[in-house]
Amino acid sequence: MGKSLHHYDMISHGDRILVGVSGGKDSLTLLWFLNDRLSRIPIKYTLFPVYIDPGFPDGFADQLCDFTRRIGFDLRVEKTEYGIQAHSTANLENPCFLCARLRRKKIFEIADELDCKKVAFGHHKDDIIETFFLNICYSGNISTMRPMQFFFNGKISIIRPLAFVDEDRIKRFAERKNFPDFINSCPYSEVSKRKEIKELLNQLYQSNKKIRGNIFRSLRNVNPDYLL
């Protein structure tokens, strides 16, 4: 994580950083490390963890608040019905796309309210690779998430400090720290296009352990002379 933070100059002294917490191992690991490193570095910043509750029945917002409180944070929970709205018959778009768009919009609004110029998400190396293939297969374009992206003419930037970290490594860390396992109640959580891409990529990774690293390096080694 330190490599990505330094390479992209993600965090500066005095930053107010909204941390998007979803309940997954990735965002919990991100929050833990961003907090832990404060005792070992010369710069200081302030973290504001936020959870956008999509409104599905049997949510875990209370349990997530209990966990973040144990590591020293008062989690802000923004209750919405974005998930229910995205899966309703009135929605003609892809439900995952609409839900993600609405949650991202709310995150930006809260960041502005809290005067946070940076928003940290727990996306890791595998998320970036999977997004690359999702966009090729289902959007017809070559693009992916960037470790650092600027929005609204630079007013707010999204940072992804775990961009260089393999998902398996995050899993092992979360297990070692006994992070709770929050169950995603979204009806699409087990049948998403991202899950299909992940399974296809895992087949490739099993055939050759160098493939994951080669794909990730290719995202920074583009030869436009050999593209249409």
pLDDT per position as a tens digit, 73-94: 999 999 999 988 887 877 767 7
Please check whether residue 56 is in contact with residue 88, taking contact to mean a CB–CB distance below 8 angstroms: no
Q: Is residue 227 part of a domain?
A: no
Q: What whole-number distance in Å separates Cα of residue 17 and Cα of residue 156?
A: 10
Q: What whole-number distance in Å separates Cα of residue 188 and Cα of residue 186?
A: 5
| Position 61 pLDDT exceeds 90 | yes
Q: What whole-number distance in Å separates Cα of residue 178 and Cα of residue 92?
A: 40
Q: Is residue 76 part of a domain?
A: yes
Q: Over the chain, what is the mean pLDDT?
A: 93
Which of these, 113, 58, 120, 119, lies nearest to 83 by C-alpha position? Answer: 58
Q: Indicate which CATH number applies to the domain containing 29.
A: 3.40.50.620
Q: Number of H helices and number of E strands within the chain?
A: 9, 6
pLDDT per position as a tens digit, 165-181: 999 999 999 999 999 98
> Per the structure, how many domains does the chain have?
1
Q: Kindly report the backbone phi and psi dihedral angles of residue 69, in degrees, each rounded to the nearest multiple of 5, phi listed first.
A: -65, -35
Q: Is residue 226 part of a domain?
A: no
Structural domain of 52: 2-221
